[in-house]
Amino acid sequence: MMYRMNKPALAMEYYNRVLAGLEAIKNTQMDAILKVADEVASRLEKGGILYVFGSGHSHVLAEEVYARAGGLFQARAIMPPELIDFNMDKSTLMERTDGLADVIFATHNIRSCDALVVASNSGRNTVPVQFAQLAKSKGIYTVALTNMAHSKGVTSRDKSGKKLYEVCDIALDTCGTYGDAIVPVPGRDYSIAPASTILGAMVVELLVCSIVESMISRGFEPPVMRSSNLDGTDDINRRAKEELKERFPGLRDAFSVF
């Protein structure tokens, strides 16, 4: 016989705490999001690309911007398979590996005219920190997407002693909690239900919305992808890509995998 509680107390606690996190993002991060959006928009208008990189579960936030309905054609995800959580033990060790960021960076043609968002909930591990440092040293605009409450509560694992928010041009806070899991379980010494994906995705989409608005306000039509699961949109997307390639020849290689 299945046991059911009269009220889903823990589920509602998660719901309410996520709402509080979303409200905190709206109240504290919009100025920074708009600042980032204006900088990214100016780069896209000149043929730049917005790259998003995340290791571990943060790779989901890179996927959030790439080839999505209503997303930007000039957004790309960097998702090395070594850092994705299909093998948790391996990916955890890999994102702490000194020098791996050099290899990943060398295999992506990120240019000084591009922008890079590095997503890491803790912001403490070696690869995200070193990847951001490499990008910034090349003149690439770098943005940390991180949980400041968590990051400020832990030490860096990188040899520099720095965390992600300390090495980027600007940081966007997901407004999560220390430890990521946000629902304390009564009578237990642990919490459940992480919020980093929901809160991080909100920041990412607020950024996309603000980039589009910034471009339109300056008279530049943003190249927005239509859903591939609507009738007639394949041709629309194909024409949009070709127009971008004609306007910015440097984007031809970037679009080769679409």
Distance CA 136, CA 125 (A): 17
Contact 129, 66 (CB under 8 A): no
Instruction: Give the pLDDT confidence of 166-185 residue by residue, as tens digits.
Output: 999 999 999 999 999 999 99
User: 116-150: per-residue pLDDT in tens?
Assistant: 999 999 999 999 999 999 999 999 999 999 999 99
pLDDT at 1 over 50: no
Residue 115 pLDDT: 98
Q: Measuring CA to CA, which residue among 131, 168, 132 is closest to residue 148?
A: 168
% the chain with pLDDT above 70: 95
Q: Which CATH code, of 1.10.1760.20, 3.30.2400.10, 3.40.50.10490, 3.30.2270.10, is assigned to 30-221?
A: 3.40.50.10490
- Is residue 176 within 8 A of residue 121, CB to CB? The reply is yes
Residue-averaged pLDDT of the chain: 93
Asked whether residue 71 carries a pLDDT value surpassing 60, the answer given is yes
What pLDDT score was predicted for residue 81? 83
Residue 83 pLDDT: 83
Whether the Cβ atoms of residue 53 and residue 142 lie closer than 8 Å to each other: no
DSSP string, the chain: -----SS-HHHHHHHHHHHHHHHHHHHHTHHHHHHHHHHHHHHHTTT--EEEEE-GGGHHHHHHHSS-TT-BTTEEEE--GGGSTTSHHHHHHHTT-TTHHHHHHHTS---TTSEEEEEESS--SHHHHHHHHHHHHTT-EEEEEE-HHHHTTS---STT---HHHHSSEEEE----TTSEEEEPTTSS-EEEE-HHHHHHHHHHHHHHHHHHHHHHTT----BPPPTTSTTHHHHHHHHHHHHHHH-GGGTTTTTT-
Q: Calculate mean pLDDT across residues 214-243.
A: 94
Q: Which amino acid belongs to residue 222?
A: P
Task: State mean pLDDT over 139-165.
Answer: 97
